[in-house]
Every structure is written in structure tokens, then in C-alpha cells.
């Protein structure tokens, strides 16, 4: 019987240099897509998958991320006095249970693996999810909920995967596939940002993971990989053969909101999914067709 998946780690210590000057004084995870910041989309996705406890791995200047999920008494009172019930409900919907968010600091930028290792006390002996807020997901069934179901079915580690053009595999962690079963693939190896000619496949990991706590022991060795950083992919690879390890072809779309073009596309896609905004967005798009 698998242990329930209740914890999630959200690495949010990045500087957001690709969005300067917008991110000079604002965390990139607070950039809004339509009317919600990226971090809220990630937390809502996690909550829909049954996550109850959150660890934000932060850096300097990231306090607004935590404050966003706090109760804004003065704002709520003002909305009540002005009878703005719809706005008040939207505000309250973003709140999380008291005590469900903790933060840890990643004082030095040593990579995603190092960020996850910083959350080791929070993780303890439990399975946990990792969500990268830069990867914004548009799915009928939330992406992490799909992974959580796969975890319950298979046990062990599960990562969200998608196929990319062969010439782009050197940007991602890449799967070496043991058996392809359609949506689910069993994994015999992982390679972080391989040269195109040496990539074992074009199935790449995106920013959604369900991992076993044993990965922390491998991260603790602080072995440097691609880019001189502590790579999560390298530590995950060492679990293969010792624990089940699967990739899941999730159903939905991913928008790379760490990239300006991806961020702009996400604005359009999410607006078109909103009944209150879709007509106006289509009219706007027609002006530039």
C-alpha cells in the first residue's frame, strides 16, 4: 500500500532574469496570467491533487509569495463594506489552511536538486510532489492529479513527460525508456540535458514530479552535473532499479512561462478558456490577424 501523497515542494528562489525589469522588485512567480499569479495556479493544482502541506523554497525578495496566501483583513473588510461579494469570494478562495505553508531559504543558486534538498526536513520520510510554477498547465484533470493517480496505481516515482522535437532535447531531462505502455512508460535511465546525438529518446521531463524521500540521500552528496549544478534528474536516476520509476504522458497543455513567448501564449489560452473573457479576446486577436 502506497503512502498518501500530501506534501509538495515549490522551488521559487529563481531571479527571473528573463523578465527584467518587471522582476527587479517582484518575484517572477507573482507575474499574473490573466488575473492570478503563477504561484497561485501551482498551489491550486496541488490542492486539487490532495496536497495539504506546502514548502516554498525561496530566496531574497520573495516575501510577497507567502503574503499572497495570507489573510488580508483590511482588504476583506473593505470589500465587505462595499458589498463586493464576488471579489471577496475570489480572494478567500486563494487562502490555504493555517499552518499549511512553510518556507526554507536556498541561499545559493546551486540548481533544482539543491532547492529540493533544502526542503529535506519538510519532506522527512514521506512521498512528495515537486511543482515548478514556471510550467503553467492547462488540463481538464489537473496535471498533478494525473500524476497522483499514476502514483497510486504504480507506487514509486512518477514524472510528467512530453515529446519534443529531437533538436530540443538538450534543454531537458530525457528518459531512457524500458517499456512504452501508451500513457505510461517504465524508465531504465535518465539523462540531464544530453547532446542531441546522444539523447536516448525525445521524451522529456516537465516541471511536475512525484518522488520518494530516498532521493534526498542522493541529493545530499552535492554531486555537480550539467551546468555545474546539483541536478534533480541525476539523483532521480539513482533510484531506478531500486524503486518503481515511470513517466506519464499527461493530458493537457504546458506553457513555459519562464519564456516571454510562452508567457504571452498562456495569457491568450487562459483568457480563451474564460466565458467572461473569450469573446473580447477573440475580437482582440482578430485585429492582429
Q: What is the CA radius of gyration of the chain?
A: 19
Helices within the chain (DSSP H only): 38-48, 63-68, 73-81, 85-93, 112-118, 120-123, 143-154, 215-219, 232-237, 260-272, 278-287
Task: Locate the domains of the chain by residue range.
Answer: 7-258
Q: Are 160 and 147 in contact (CB under 8 A)?
A: yes
Residue among 59, 50, 52 nearest 118 (CA): 59
pLDDT for the residue 216:
96
Phi/psi for 268 (5° steps) reads: -65, -50
Quote the pTM value. Answer: 0.93
pLDDT for the residue 72:
81
Separation between Cα atoms, residue 129 and residue 147, nearest integer Å = 9
pLDDT for the residue 287:
94
pLDDT for the residue 26:
87
Separation between Cα atoms, residue 187 and residue 241, nearest integer Å = 9
How do the pLDDT tens digits run along the chain, 289 residues long?
789 999 999 999 887 888 889 888 888 999 999 999 999 999 999 999 999 999 999 988 788 898 888 888 888 889 888 888 888 888 887 778 888 999 999 988 889 999 999 999 999 999 999 999 999 999 999 999 999 999 999 999 999 999 999 889 988 889 988 888 889 999 999 888 889 888 899 999 999 999 999 999 999 988 887 778 888 989 999 999 899 999 999 999 999 999 999 999 999 999 999 999 999 999 999 998 7
pLDDT for the residue 117:
96
The CATH superfamily assigned to 7-258 is: Spore Coat Polysaccharide Biosynthesis Protein SpsA; Chain A (3.90.550.10)
pLDDT for the residue 41:
96
Amino acid at each position: 500500500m502506497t503512502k498518501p501523497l500530501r506534501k509538495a515542494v515549490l522551488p521559487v528562489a529563481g531571479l527571473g532574469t528573463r523578465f527584467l525589469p518587471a522582476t527587479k522588485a517582484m518575484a517572477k512567480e507573482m507575474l499574473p496570467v490573466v488575473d492570478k499569479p503563477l504561484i497561485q495556479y501551482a498551489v491550486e493544482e496541488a490542492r486539487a491533487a490532495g496536497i495539504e502541506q506546502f514548502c516554498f523554497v525561496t530566496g531574497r525578495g520573495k516575501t510577497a509569495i507567502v503574503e499572497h496566501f495570507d489573510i488580508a483583513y483590511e482588504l476583506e473588510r473593505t470589500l465587505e463594506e462595499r458589498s463586493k461579494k464576488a471579489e471577496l469570494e475570489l480572494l478567500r478562495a486563494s487562502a490555504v489552511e493555517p499552518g499549511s505553508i512553510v518556507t526554507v531559504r536556498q541561499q545559493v543558486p546551486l540548481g533544482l536538486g539543491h532547492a529540493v534538498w533544502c526542503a529535506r526536513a519538510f519532506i522527512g520520510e514521506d512521498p512528495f510532489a515537486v511543482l515548478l510554477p514556471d510550467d503553467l498547465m492547462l488540463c481538464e484533470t489537473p496535471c498533478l492529479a494525473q500524476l497522483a493517480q499514476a502514483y497510486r496505481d504504480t507506487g514509486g516515482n512518477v514524472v510528467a513527460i512530453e515529446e519534443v522535437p529531437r533538436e530540443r532535447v538538450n534543454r531537458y531531462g530525457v528518459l531512457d525508456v524500458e517499456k512504452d505502455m501508451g500513457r505510461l512508460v517504465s524508465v531504465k535511465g535518465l539523462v540531464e540535458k544530453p547532446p542531441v546525438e546522444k539523447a536516448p529518446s525525445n521524451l522529456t521531463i516537465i516541471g511536475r514530479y512525484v518522488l520518494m524521500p530516498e532521493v534526498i540521500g542522493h541529493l545530499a552528496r552535492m554531486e555537480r552535473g550539467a551546468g555545474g549544478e546539483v541536478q534533480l534528474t541525476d539523483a532521480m536516476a539513482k533510484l531506478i532499479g531500486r524503486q518503481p520509476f515511470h513517466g506519464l504522458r499527461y493530458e493537457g497543455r504546458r506553457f513555459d512561462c519562464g519564456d516571454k513567448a510562452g508567457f504571452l501564449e498562456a495569457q491568450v489560452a487562459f483568457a480563451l478558456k474564460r466565458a467572461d473573457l473569450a469573446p473580447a479576446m477573440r475580437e482582440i486577436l482578430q485585429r492582429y490577424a
